[in-house]
Structure 1
Amino acid sequence: MTEAVDVDRALKSKHRVMWGLGNYPAVATEVIPELGPVVAAAGGVRAGDRVLDIAAGSGNVAIPAAALGAQVVATDLTPELFDAGRKMAADADVELEWREADAEDLPFEDGEFDVVLSCVGVMFAPHHQRAADELVRVCKEGGRIAVLSWTPTGFIGEMFKAMKPYAPAPPPGSQPPPLWGEESHVRELFGDRVRDLTARREVLQVSRFRDPEDFRDFFKENYGPTIAVYRNIAGDDAKVEALDRDLVDLARKYSAGGDSSAGGDSPGMDWEYLLVTGVRSTS
């Protein structure tokens, strides 16, 4: 048992470091800012609700939820992201609580929250059932749940597939994050503890990048998982060049407008996600 606990602590420590690499708040604010309000709306957040945002990062969902008048607690395994979140909350003239917390072992009582949310966050907890169990546990009976995750067949899911050959082998028992983007997987995780479950695939149109190379360079500099993979192959020029090509090829495949470096509008990319909503069942 002690060995298993030590392994889990080491894994969580690695995850914390990974998400602290680069500048995830830049990804949240420059690339996917629209997703936070989508999740808050899907969760039916209302003034006075007690809301938990799991794996909140810098508050992409938590801040819009607080702006609706909710009492929000934003949690994340990587508290280094909170400084940027506090600044953005102050700029938005909202207040919320920031708590360091492991999505698989939340420091809250059963049924403590009216609404539990996560936006491309809880999906990265390595043990999906543990994370789902905690998410459901802290939601009160009749409370609302909304979780947004990248799909395996969408752009981000394909990006993780492209990076996999260059990444270290995942620890035993950990599961691929984009599985949270499969409806059947989420239904199995929640079981009969969540009723009125709906799942719909939607697309985020991303136009932040000038061209595929700009996407690659931005993610190499700012996105923790991509930075970690490049660090894993640092010193192997052939692998670095190959991954550079693979990411550019993937971005080009998903770009609607081609290379716009000569001017004009940025090429758009469609990034697919799964939005799951439901209600915590009564006993």
Structure 2
Amino acid sequence: MTVQSDPLEADRALKAKHRDMWALGDYPAVAAEIIPDLGAILVEACGVGRGDRVLDVAAGSGNAAIPAALAGASVVAGDLTPELLEAGRTLATRRGAEVEWRQADAEALPYADGEFDTVLSCVGVMFVPNHQAGANELIRVCRPGGTIGLLSWTPEGFIGQMFATMKPYVPPPPPGAQPPPLWGSEGHVRALLGDAVTDVEARRQTVTIDRFAHPGAFLDYFKANYGPTVAAYRGIAGDPDRVAALDQALTELARAHLHGAEKTVMEWEYLLLTARKHD
């Protein structure tokens, strides 16, 4: 007899897995120490200003939400992982930013249609399993004439290549789930947003990373702090040969990307895309 799986139960289990993964390690440290300026870059590109109503989707610890609030906007930060929201509250208080924090699934946002002037996400919504569902929600909660802004790692850049490197060492994604770095492909995002938007502007840029003195320093940091990497290693912890192979693969990837006179600098590529929702 064939047992039919419950799609809702499967979705709840998948979301719980995502919640747990991003609670591993210390993503707030990654955001603050490795990519602290990316949120402000996105906020500026979206033209966020005083009095704007802003939603930061998959906000993490507020890398974009906090700069938006400091720019004078009224900001809601939503994320699936409570631990990240709690870290965001602490950071916002420390920086004197007023942000409303709310647990929220980016594929089913708990907000009204057209509620926000600007809807943005900084390396956040790219991790939803169903890309079209996430894009549809970005569009739905943005007001007509409002701005949608996205900053996502590209498939060809360092983080995109890191996920490709880890792929053989993690369980296969559920049916229908798409690779996160696809959000770093302009054509993919244009297709997701479709004719719901106009005035699309997209450009590839890089963020300079000078935190790691050698490839091993990168490996140690990400094994300890970055949820997806921590989860990958936990999944193969009982197989020393696979652990060693992944260590070598990630170390070689880092070595290939380090440059500069002392070989201590990386350039991580991302796609910065803004669009206006049709009136």
Q: Structure 2-normalised TM-score?
A: 0.97
Residue 22 of structure 2 is matched in structure 1 by 19
Gaps of 5+ in 1: 261-265
The 5 Å alignment of 1:76-225 reads: 76-225=79-228
Residue 272 of structure 1 is matched in structure 2 by 269
SS at 1:51's partner residue?
Answer: strand
- Report the Cα distance in structure 1 between the residues aligned to 2:5 and 2:56, rounded to whole angstroms: 30
- Report the Cα distance in structure 1 between the residues aligned to 2:89 and 2:108, rounded to whole angstroms: 24
| Residues 44-69 of structure 1: per-residue CA shift (max 9 Å, x gap) | 10101000000000000000000001
Residue 259 of structure 2 is matched in structure 1 by 256
Q: CA RMSD in A?
A: 1.1
- Report the Cα distance in structure 1 between the residues aligned to 2:131 and 2:221, rounded to whole angstroms: 29
Alpha-carbon offset, residue 90 of structure 1: 1.1
- Report the Cα distance in structure 1 between the residues aligned to 2:89 and 2:104, rounded to whole angstroms: 17
Residue 36 of structure 2 is matched in structure 1 by 33
Alpha-carbon offset, residue 83 of structure 1: 1.9
| Residues 57-100 of structure 1: per-residue CA shift (max 9 Å, x gap) | 00000000000010000000001112221111111111110000
SS at 2:6's partner residue?
Answer: helix
- Report the Cα distance in structure 2 between the residues aligned to 1:183 and 1:84, rounded to whole angstroms: 31
- Report the Cα distance in structure 2 between the residues aligned to 1:7 and 1:173, rounded to whole angstroms: 12
SS at 1:103's partner residue?
Answer: coil
| Residues 177-210 of structure 1: per-residue CA shift (max 9 Å, x gap) | 0000011100100001010011100011111112
- Report the Cα distance in structure 1 between the residues aligned to 2:272 and 2:171, rounded to whole angstroms: 30
- Report the Cα distance in structure 1 between the residues aligned to 2:211 and 2:16, rounded to whole angstroms: 31
- Report the Cα distance in structure 1 between the residues aligned to 2:123 and 2:211, rounded to whole angstroms: 18
Gaps of 5+ in 2: none
Cα contact 2:114–2:143 (8 A) shared by 1: yes
Cα contact 2:85–2:103 (8 A) shared by 1: no
Tell me the amino acid that sits aligned with residue 175 of structure 2.
Answer: P
Aligned residues: 276
Cα contact 2:198–2:277 (8 A) shared by 1: yes
Residue 66 of structure 2 is matched in structure 1 by 63
Alpha-carbon offset, residue 257 of structure 1: 3.1
Counting aligned pairs with the same residue, the percent is 61
| Residues 137-191 of structure 1: per-residue CA shift (max 9 Å, x gap) | 0000000111000000000000001000101111111000000001110010000
Alpha-carbon offset, residue 2 of structure 1: 7.3
- Report the Cα distance in structure 2 between the residues aligned to 1:173 and 1:140, rounded to whole angstroms: 29
SS at 2:119's partner residue?
Answer: strand
- Report the Cα distance in structure 1 between the residues aligned to 2:109 and 2:194, rounded to whole angstroms: 20
Tell me the amino acid that sits aligned with residue 242 of structure 1.
Answer: A
